[in-house]
Amino acid sequence: MKRVKLTESQLIDLIKKLTPNNLVEGIDDTEEFDFSGYDDSDDYDEDEEDVDPIEKYKEEFKEKIESDDDLEDYDVDEIFSVKGPTRRFRASIYVDGLVPMTDDKEFDRAVAQKIMEYYATKLGIENFIGGAGFKTGDITNPYDKDF
């Protein structure tokens, strides 16, 4: 958590904005507040600002990655929100799916392609669908089209 310092007048303005008018009527803008008795040493860890966001991210996800646990939506959102240097990657996802078989193979292929485009948009990252091929049953040429 980041520590924010406010002047007394900024604090009063903030209180006025965040509370109903009838609760702050008695606050005088010129009134001096004595903060000398307030000890905030337990509220703030000065080392917290010095933590490298990349190291914090690595520490947080190391156990999850090593244990081969599945990531949840919030994990992926957190990974993409880490500030710092990034490393670009490319990966392939091969999907075996089924579509209704019509007498028009190219129509069926277009439907399969649209299904993959639908799921690709759910990723929320740059993507490319290379195509869709249908299994041929031939071990030397297992798909009818390169993708």
Question: For the chain, which residues make up each domain, given as ranges?
Answer: 8-45, 51-81, 92-147
Please give the backbone phi and psi of residue 138, each rounded to the nearest 5 degrees, phi first.
-95, 120
Q: What is the pTM of this model?
A: 0.49
The pLDDT assigned to 100 comes to 93
More confident residue, 111 or 11: 111
Residues in contact with 112: Cβ distance below 8 Å, sequence separation at least 6, in sequence order: 97, 99, 132
Question: In which band, very low, low, confident or very high, does the pLDDT at 86 lie, cut at 50, 70 and 90?
Answer: confident
Residue-wise pLDDT for 35-59, tens only, equals: 565 555 555 555 556 778 888 888 8
More confident of the two residues 144 and 47: 144
CA distance 24 to 31: 13
